[in-house]
Structure 1
Amino acid sequence: MAFAVTSSPVHTSSIDQAKAAHFGASQALDRLNSAATAVNFSRRGWSVTRLNAEPNRNDSTVSAAASSNPGLLNAADNVEEEEDYGELAKELEDSSPLEIMDKALEKFGNDIAIAFSGAEDVALLEYARLTGRPFRVFSLDTGRLNPETYRFFDEVEKHYGIHIEYMFPEAAEVQDLVMRKGLFSFYEDGHQECCRVRKVRPLRRALKGLRAWITGQRKDQSPGTRSEVPVVQVDPVFEGLDGGAGSLVKWNPVANAKGDNIWSFLRTMSVPVNSLHAKGYISIGCEPCTRAVLPGQHEREGRWWWEDAKAKECGLHKGNIKEENVNVNGSAVHPNGTTPHADLFSSENVVSLSRRGIENLLKLEKRSEAWVAVVYAPWCVFCQAMEESYVELGEKLAGSGVKVAKFRGDGGEKAFAQEKLQLGSFPTVLLFPKHASRPVKYPSEKRDADSLLAFVNALE
């Protein structure tokens, strides 16, 4: 398949600018102006051939040279030694994204491509440009992206002088899904099936034409599920050009970078960005499944917000997701099931409800006073983020006739909380009005004290 290719010389001023702007680049790349290389794959390993190397000599010439210098044959054998990517990942662990990108492009030449989503991973394209090497770019067009994302694709192509290769889902598969389940079935039974049709399978087709790919995965994008992303690895899920396990290498140059530093880099380099970012969008995917987040919220809260955070992956990076010892919202727990985090919402104005206590609230058709309760888990970063505002809510409602409470809904209480307390993801806030038998779930992602108070006052 044809992928976007670009090659532009890098001047000394560009390198100086990149080094000054780049948050982790402490080492200069002395090979940026070296000749391009091509990489050939064999079952024995990787062999590197310089594109501007001398033409192949005939067998007699090679034999004569080898007889006069037997070491040449051994040297040729050494070229095809298999790469240990675990060791390479350790060697590059402290390297800058620019150095890692340069290594990836140098090693795989025309057999590697950058996966571009239309979000802040435009940084990958900028790093690739700064290496001075040719690079290819592909993107998955699910057919349901925001208009802003499509316009951004066009802007990126013009800025870098490239043509992005778009991979589309199979029309028959999309048609079958929509005919059977409608356009918005993911709101009812989860996003995995739709993502599988519109994203995972097109990605699989794209990767079958490559021997390596470059992604924008960062550890801080989802600390519970992506905290162990290496800078380079043999892809554990997808297959490359030669097929079979181990036929595809995955590079994650910004794995160790922080989101704030990526944005500092983009601003310094005057790189075009998706206009959705200015509207509060951080992690950008399909239009029906992406929304803006508020200050203090984690970026993944803007994706598939109606589901548990553990499920907030589309399947493109399944091999990097931690599945063992991970709780509902993707936060790690100890092997024995206990959590290292202290309890939350500890205040004289917040009542701690037991299972029996919350069940009693559910049974009452008329209450002498209203209650507001948060269903939470101490390890949940989103619960931790709203602790101050919820304690403040307790202070504001003290003596008002509205009780403020908390109920821990993880572990053995999770199934009960999902069935009886409308738990979708943590935290879930419920209001038990005086004269209503059913609790009302707080619908907003705004978790400041004033927003919570407005909700209570409106219904009580």
Structure 2
Amino acid sequence: MALAVSSSIAISTSTFQSSQSKLSQFGSIRVLKKPFGVGVKSSQPRSFVKPINARDSVVPTTPSEAIETKEEDYELLAYQLENASPLEIMDRALEKFGNDIAIAFSGAEDVALIEYAYLTGRPFRVFSLDTGRLNPETYRLFDAVEKKYGIRIEYMFPDAVEVQALVRSKGLFSFYEDGHQECCRVRKVRPLRRALKGLRAWITGQRKDQSPGTRSEIPVVQVDTVFEGIDGGTGSLIKWNPVANMKGNDVWNFLRTMNVPVNSLHSQGYISIGCEPCTRAVLPGQHEREGRWWWEDAKAKECGLHKGNIKQEDDAHLNGNGAVHANGTPDVGADLFNTQNVVSLSRTGIENLTRLETRKKPWLVVLYAPWCPYCQDMEESYVGLAEKLAGSGVNVGKFRADGEQKEFAKHELKLGSFPTILFFPEHSSRPIKYPSEKRDVDSLMAFVNALR
């Protein structure tokens, strides 16, 4: 590993030979057990940088002149590293930013990042956001990781006054009613903002396959457009995503091969792990992000830490008035569940259906959005169900509930997230919401048969 120094630093071959291979720990910087082979003597004092969450401890680093500060085209760098291994990307990030970069560790498979950093042989820093609502298993993982790698994770905590004000005014579980963004802003985004203000770059465990709605196009390195680094201003912070191109199975094969400690919740069906109230296990075949904020739309499943992933697309898409082509142009003709066996209900039609206290036939209706990947995934099974129910006395319908219709659907039709499936019995004015996320034909059929 090359050691970058300024011209005013003299190189001595004997400095490190007098200090034996001994593990030293400063904050969360790991110093190699073996000497570099050459030492550093400086005519100026050694510089010190505080860890991002400590006020009274210091982290030794090389003089600031040694940190590369020249401007770089990060789009070009991302292109050059597109086919690089996670280890190579991690090594490049640590080499480039030294003590001014840190790994964001969430207590899930992000431990792979720490293992890759360890394998580079370079010093590295790790920080984590303790929201105060994590699972006990996550805290145990933190402890195991610190002991295995000989580091100290730099914890960031939310402001106690802000948490107190939120809980006193809206209760402990307000996010189930009005969305998770406000709680995440207090408990995660603002602490992260404080952490990143002490850095020039950070390393995340984002992968393209984690969320089809928000992460499908993330590069391995990018300028962070949401947060600011130590220098302040747009472009002052760089985000590295070394495992962006890895599949979930590949990450887990790596973790098992390297015998890396992992969160015990994974063995209980949890894949993507966040705060305890907002995380649940997923069923076989479900996407991993369905276990996070399951009551909300797939497009909203970011807590704010990676808000830049949510594209500001064409107004037609944001308003739910049409899907969008890959080139960004609206495709107002795109739709789902297009079959003669599924009746397309207008706003007036669905309102009339809800007002009827007695119906001639029961109805099964899906509230959907064409851009929702989970709606797209269930299209075949819903169409197949409609074919099975044709002539059975049960009407099958659909109501597009995004855009201008979303508020109505949330308040009048029990819309939580897309898709929401409702059954309107013959002799009841209230629809019954399908409670499961199993959307195969047999499961949906069992639901209908139990109620008609």
TM-score (normalizing by structure 2): 0.80
* 1:339-418 correspondence to structure 2 within 5 Å: 343-347=335-339, 349-411=341-403, 413-418=405-410
Query: Which residue matches 1:183?
Result: 172
- The residue number in structure 2 matching 1:231 is 220
Deviates more, 1:87-96 or 1:113-122: 87-96
1:263-312 deviations in Å (ceiling 9; x for gaps): 22222222221121222222111011111222332222211122222222
- How many angstroms apart in 1 are the aligned matches of 2:200 and 2:27? 13
The alpha carbon displacement at 1:433 in A equals 0.3
Give the AA of the match of 1:424. G
Q: Which residue of 1 aligns with 2:247?
A: 258
Q: Is the 8 A contact 2:323 2:370 kept in 1?
A: no
**Which is further off, 238-247 or 122-131?**
238-247
Aligned to 1:440: 432
The CA distance in 1 between the partners of 2:446 and 2:401, in whole Å, is 25
Partner Cα distance (1:94, 1:176) in 2: 47
Task: Confirm or deny that 1:4 pairs with 2:28.
Answer: yes
Q: TM-score, normalised by structure 1?
A: 0.79
Q: In 1, distance between residues paired with 2:319 and 2:250?
A: 28
Do structure 1's residue 219 and structure 2's residue 208 form an aligned pair?
A: yes
Secondary structure (helix, strand or coil) at the match of 2:213 reads coil
Q: Which residue number corresponds to residue 19 of structure 1? A: none
SS in 2 for 1:221: coil
Separation (CA, whole Å) in 2 of partners of 1:149 and 1:81:
39
Q: Give the distance between the partners of 1:292 and 1:332, measured in 2 at CA.
A: 30
For the Cα contact (< 8 Å) 2:365–2:422, is it kept in 1? Answer: yes
Correspondence for 2:330 among 337, 341, 352: 337
Gaps of 5+ in 2: 1-25, 45-64
Q: What do residues 403-443 of structure 1 show as CA deviations (whole Å, max 9, x unaligned)?
A: 33333334554454344433232111000001001212212
Task: Report the CA distance between 1:85 and its aligned residue.
Answer: 2.4
**Which residue identity lines up with residue 331 of structure 2 in the other structure?**
T
Determine if the alignment matches structure 1 residue 151 to structure 2 residue 140.
yes
Specify the SS of the correspondent of 2:330. coil
Question: Partners in 1 of 2:388 and 2:93 — Cα distance?
Answer: 56
* SS of residue in 1 equivalent to 2:363: strand
Q: Is the 8 A contact 2:296 2:418 kept in 1?
A: no
Q: Does 1:109 align with 2:98?
A: yes
Residue 58 (structure 2) aligns with? none
SS of 1:431's partner is strand
- RMSD between aligned residues: 3.0
CA contact (8 A) 1:236 1:246 kept: yes
Query: Which whole-Å CA distance do the structure 2 matches of 1:422 and 1:320 have between them?
Result: 28
Question: Which runs of no fewer than 5 residues in structure 1 stay unpaired?
Answer: 10-32, 37-50, 58-75
In 2, the alpha carbon distance for the partners of 1:414 and 1:169 equals: 32
1:22-79: CA deviation from partner (whole Å, max 9, x where unpaired)? xxxxxxxxxxx9959xxxxxxxxxxxxxx9445449xxxxxxxxxxxxxxxxxx99x7
Match of residue 171 from structure 1: 160
2:212–2:373 Cα contact (<8 Å) kept: no
One-letter identity of the residue aligned with 2:139 = Y
Q: Secondary structure at the match of 2:109?
A: coil
For residue 219 of structure 2, give the secondary structure of its aligned residue in structure 1: coil
Separation in 1 of the partners of 2:402 and 2:182?
26
CA distance in 2, matches of 1:354, 1:179: 41
Report deviation, 1:382: 0.6
Cα distance in 2 between the residues matched to 1:269 and 1:280: 22
Task: Tell me the alpha carbon deviations over residues 325-374 of structure 1, each in whole angstroms, 9 at most, x when there is no partner.
Answer: 45589x96134532685x44355654444445434422321112211111
Matched-pair contact (CA < 8 Å) for 1:327–1:333: no
Q: Specify whether residues 332 and 112 from structure 1 end up closer, same or farther in structure 2 by C-alpha distance, changes over 3 A only.
A: farther
| Corresponding residue SS for 1:406 | strand
Secondary structure in structure 1 of the residue aligned to 2:29:
coil
Task: Give the AA of the match of 2:324.
Answer: V
Residue pairs, 1:12-411, within 5 angstroms? 35=36, 52-53=39-40, 55-56=42-43, 81-325=70-314, 327=318, 333-334=324-325, 335-338=328-331, 343-347=335-339, 349-411=341-403
1:104 deviates by: 0.7
* Pair 7,421 (structure 1): closer, same or farther in 2 beyond 3 Å: same
The alpha carbon displacement at 1:100 in A equals 0.6
Contact 1:328–1:425, Cα closer than 8 Å, also in 2:
no
Distance in 1 (CA, whole Å) between partners of 2:167 and 2:258 is: 42
Please tell me whether the aligned partners of residues 27 and 154 of structure 2 are also in contact (alpha carbons under 8 angstroms).
Answer: yes
Greater RCO (CA < 8 Å, at least 6 residues apart): 1
Moved more, 320-329 or 141-150: 320-329
Alignment CA distance shift 1:421-1:356 (3 Å): same
- Is the 8 Å Cα contact of residues 228 and 235 (structure 2) preserved in structure 1? yes
More helix by share: 1
Partner letter of residue 163 of structure 2?
V
C-alpha displacement at 1:237, in angstroms?
Answer: 2.3
What per-residue deviation string (whole Å, max 9, x for no partner) do you get for residues 383-421 of structure 1? 122233323433554444323333333455445434443
More displaced, 331-340 or 285-294?
331-340
